Amino acid sequence: MAAPREAAARAEALRAEIGKHNYAYYVLDAPTVPDAEYDRLFRELQEIEAAYPALRTADSPTQRVGGRPLPEFAPVRHAVPMLSIRTETDSGPEGARAFDARARRALGLAEGAPSLEYAAELKFDGLAVSLRYEDGVLAQAATRGDGEIGEDVTQNVRTIHCIPLGLKGEPPALLEIRGEVFMRRPDFERYNARQRERGRPALVNPRNGAAGSIRQLDPKIAAERPLSFFAYGVGEARGWAMPASHSAILDALAAFGVPVCEHRAVAQGAEGLIAFHEKMLAQRDALPFDIDGVVYKVNALDLQERLGFATREPRWAVAHKYPAQEELTEVLGIEIQVGRTGKLTPVARLKPVFVGGVTVTNATLHNEDEVRRKDVRIGDTVIVRRAGDVIPEVFAVVKERRTENVENGRQWSLADAVGNECPVCHSAIERLEDEADWRCTAGLYCPAQRKQAILHFASRRALDIEGIGEKLVDQLVDQNLVETVADLYDPTRINAGKLAGLERMGGKSAQNIVDAIAESSKAAQLERLIYALGIRNVGEATAKELARHFGTMTALMAADAETLQLVPDIGPVVAASIIDFFNEKHNQQVVEKLLEHIRLEAVGKMAAGAVLRGLTFVLTGTLPTLAREAAAALIEAAGGKVSGSVSKKTDYVVAGTDAGSKLDKAQALGVRIIDEAGLRELLQAKETER
């Protein structure tokens, strides 16, 4: 039957497009589309050629595994072709059942015959290679290439430390091992972080990083890349009593010292395959490397031989993929979300796309630097990635599809997008020199930060208001009972009657919370109130130093940068955070209202007994009678400072049982070491001296 003109034209266009994608991925190491998009194009061409066999040409991508060797690498002809395997398009249980049914039919098994035994393993997302061992020594490594001829990449493969240069035990005279070179996600992240620190380009993704590394002409570059390898089969072999099953072959390779993935199983029938598929899907996001599915193989080698091949694909194996984690879509806009800590996060509003099992309409862009690094612009076609429950992200821009209008536009700027103010409360925003994120400076006032601000204010180390937890705060804010932390002390907003009407809140619980709020207002320490305000970069230790130095909240609020930096351990960054906080009019109003309700203890009482002023202590191990917090309180009440780390500036290390590295460091630096009794003696002696 002659093919329609439209089908012929579409087949020609698909061959050209797939060829371009193959060249970009395999030759240039610069992928232009996600795997799911490539698979769709490939399947469409397969369907056209199946319907009209006359359109199937010798140079069609469907007639080869894909890619071709670069001229710079020596060609290697595979003694046993490295062919691809069929992919089940149904990512659900029916995909496994379909493969099992085909295998049983091809073997002529009756309906009631015993289940077939399968080897089930992972489908790694990397680059397929062949390792040729002669008398147990690695002699050659080659890429898959087009399945018949690959590229000699021996020098680069030798740089992969997990690949043995010599096999253990008594290996055969010749053994060709097939497997996947890949990059573990933690290694990928560390490598990219190091590259950015050096001002060098980062890798696009782990798969492209593995493929690009193996195909570097300079092996020194490959040696810098953190590559890994898993074996999944064998090719040519001589002088070896071949095991009877695929699973036994993998066991034998592991015994030779070759890396074999532990996540594999021998499964019985379709239900066994389904169980393995579902188990690995549940574990997929926890794996330290990327997979895009699992692979099933009839386990017995004699049955594999009986099943044979169909159009360059084995009938005895299949890839059962998972839902795509990457898809193409369009950026319709970029919006700004304000987090609970004031962080401003750019979020791409997307043309809806089904990826990772859900329909995605928004994806994080992380921060302004990431938007600029990836050069994301409104109107761009982008690759969206979603792994499991992880928030979807814009992974990369497909610049080949960028229109002229988008190309001629400006790079995106967060400050310009929001007019230099918080989109929620319209307060000023800031970005410190050494930070990647813009933040709202409103703190206590900003509605987006309100819940977190209240929880922090009421926490044990701050004002310690018992009974105020996350669920209660959600209700207080959602029902507009509390807008700022000062509203906690407003009896018209917070009283037993109103609280009793909240979910899971009876009259007694409501009264307990009202009493706890009243108790917190009676005699609070200035240092606790400073800490409770949630000023950026002001922790407990800094709050104590500020309280000691200024004595009153009014004096602290009036301090300039120069005055603030007279306080121990306060530099320009912390000083700027404090000034920015109190320069915000809304924060001033909240603090003034708090001071109307809260009676602060006189700081002078603590200062009068400051017998350890100027001394720095580090606590380590378990003390006989004092909890670490109690010991710290004694030291601080006496004017001393408690630090979390040992340095040359440390005066004393108070060590208890099971003291660890801090004690070792103190001994190395010659810092004075005392126990609990020594601390008590020191406090007593200092008091006597005073």
Which DSSP state fits 428? B
User: CA 106 to CA 312: how far, in whole Å?
Assistant: 16
Q: Which residue has the tokens 């031989």?
A: 305
Calculate the average pLDDT of the chain.
87
Q: What is the CATH number of the domain that holds 112?
A: 3.30.470.30
Predicted local distance difference test score (pLDDT) of residue 97? 95
The single-letter code of the amino acid at 167 is: L
Asked if residue 424 is part of any domain, the answer here is no
Evaluate if residue 284 carries a pLDDT over 60: yes
Q: What is the CATH number of the domain that holds 666?
A: 3.40.50.10190
Of 203-212, 258-267, 358-367, where does the model show the most confidence?
258-267
Residues designated catalytic: 123
Predicted local distance difference test score (pLDDT) of residue 606? 42
Residues 682-690, mean pLDDT to the nearest whole number: 59
Evaluate if residue 683 carries a pLDDT over 50: yes
CA-nearest of 303, 374, 375, 365 to 334 is: 365
The single-letter code of the amino acid at 472 is: L
User: CA 42 to CA 60: how far, in whole Å?
Assistant: 10
Predicted local distance difference test score (pLDDT) of residue 390? 63
Asked if residue 81 is part of any domain, the answer here is no
Evaluate if residue 416 carries a pLDDT over 70: yes
> Within this chain, do residues 362 and 316 fall inside the same structural domain, yes or no?
no
> Within this chain, do residues 453 and 414 fall inside the same structural domain, yes or no?
no
Dihedrals φ, ψ of 396, to 5°? -165, 160
Asked if residue 592 is part of any domain, the answer here is yes
Count Cα neighbours of 203 within 13 Å in the Cβ-side half-sphere: 27
The residue ranking higher by pLDDT, 646 or 357, is: 646
Domain range holding 20? 5-63
Rg (CA), the chain: 33
> Within this chain, do residues 311 and 292 fall inside the same structural domain, yes or no?
yes
Predicted local distance difference test score (pLDDT) of residue 64? 52
Asked if residue 233 is part of any domain, the answer here is yes
Predicted local distance difference test score (pLDDT) of residue 16? 86
The residue ranking higher by pLDDT, 209 or 24, is: 209
Burial class (CB in 10 A: 0-12, 13-18, 19+), 533: buried
Predicted local distance difference test score (pLDDT) of residue 638? 78
User: CA 391 to CA 318: how far, in whole Å?
Assistant: 31
Burial class (CB in 10 A: 0-12, 13-18, 19+), 645: exposed
pLDDT range class, residue 409, cuts 50, 70, 90: confident
> Within this chain, do residues 469 and 585 fall inside the same structural domain, yes or no?
yes
pLDDT range class, residue 1, cuts 50, 70, 90: low
342-362: pLDDT as tens digits: 889 999 999 999 887 788 999
Which DSSP state fits 300? B
Q: What is the CATH number of the domain that holds 51?
A: 1.10.287.610
Evaluate if residue 98 carries a pLDDT over 60: yes
Which DSSP state fits 245? B
Asked if residue 380 is part of any domain, the answer here is yes
Total of domains in the chain: 5
Evaluate if residue 248 carries a pLDDT over 50: yes
pLDDT more than 70, % of the chain:
94
Residues 607-627, mean pLDDT to the nearest whole number: 78
Asked if residue 457 is part of any domain, the answer here is yes
CA–CA distance from 417 to each of 173, 338, 348, 397 (Å)? 67, 14, 13, 20
> Within this chain, do residues 170 and 273 fall inside the same structural domain, yes or no?
yes
Q: What is the CATH number of the domain that holds 412?
A: 2.40.50.140
Asked if residue 245 is part of any domain, the answer here is yes
Alpha helices in 399-552 (DSSP H): 404-407, 414-418, 450-458, 470-478, 496-500, 507-520, 526-532, 540-550
> Within this chain, do residues 182 and 295 fall inside the same structural domain, yes or no?
yes
Q: What is the CATH number of the domain that holds 526?
A: 1.10.150.20
The residue ranking higher by pLDDT, 130 or 19, is: 130
pTM of whole model > 0.75?
A: no
> Within this chain, do residues 158 and 293 fall inside the same structural domain, yes or no?
yes
Question: Could you tell me what percentage of the chain is helix, strand and coil, using 3-state DSSP and rounding each to the nearest 5?
Answer: 40, 20, 40
> Within this chain, do residues 143 and 100 fall inside the same structural domain, yes or no?
yes
The residue ranking higher by pLDDT, 347 or 610, is: 347
User: CA 584 to CA 476: how far, in whole Å?
Assistant: 24
Predicted local distance difference test score (pLDDT) of residue 158? 87
Range from 232-236, 249-253, 408-412 carrying the lowest mean pLDDT:
408-412
Of 321, 355, 370, the one marking the end of a domain is: 321
Of 273, 303, 321, the one marking the end of a domain is: 321
Dihedrals φ, ψ of 228, to 5°? -130, 175
Alpha helices in 178-268 (DSSP H): 185-197, 206-214, 219-224, 246-255
Asked if residue 339 is part of any domain, the answer here is yes
Of 549, 579, 601, the one marking the end of a domain is: 601
pLDDT more than 90, % of the chain:
46
> Within this chain, do residues 126 and 242 fall inside the same structural domain, yes or no?
yes
Evaluate if residue 690 carries a pLDDT over 70: no
> Within this chain, do residues 115 and 19 fall inside the same structural domain, yes or no?
no
> Within this chain, do residues 371 and 309 fall inside the same structural domain, yes or no?
no
Q: What H or E segment, with its residue span, contains residue 553?
A: helix 553-558
Given phi > 0 = left and psi -120 to 50 = alpha, else beta, which region is 449? alpha
> Within this chain, do residues 268 and 292 fall inside the same structural domain, yes or no?
yes
467-496: pLDDT as tens digits: 999 889 989 988 989 999 999 999 999 999
> How many CB atoms sit inside 10 A of residue 462's CB?
22
